[in-house]
Amino acid sequence: MDRYQRATDMTFHAGSITADMREYHAFREIDPSTVAAIIETGFLNLDREILTKHPDRVAEGIVQGILCFSNNENIEPTPIPGLTQ
């Protein structure tokens, strides 16, 4: 997640990750050892500018996130406003 945020400068919206996303029905239809993800690039009402005018930055963030996962790299914790860590 930190790679996408670095590439796009977008704000993380912790409250937008729902149980429906974490337990997406299609995840139960594939082998448990198969890697799967939902990639949500942003919100059209909040992030329209970058999503429509800078898709290269969005794509680079996705690539960097996938490479981070594939290379088993460490990530920086994402600060969530209002929570102390």
Asked if residue 55 is part of any domain, the answer here is: yes
Q: Is pLDDT of 12 > 70?
A: yes
Asked if residue 85 is part of any domain, the answer here is: no
pLDDT in the model for residue 78: 66
> What span, in angstroms and rounded, lies between the C-alpha atoms of 27 and 50?
29
Q: Is pLDDT of 6 > 60?
A: yes
Q: Is pLDDT of 84 > 60?
A: no
Asked if residue 77 is part of any domain, the answer here is: no
Report the domain count for the chain: 1
pLDDT in the model for residue 11: 85
- pTM, to two decimals: 0.77
Asked if residue 82 is part of any domain, the answer here is: no
Asked if residue 81 is part of any domain, the answer here is: no
Domain of 31, in residue numbers: 2-70
Q: Answer yes or no: are the C-beta atoms of 7 and 61 closer than 8 Å.
A: yes
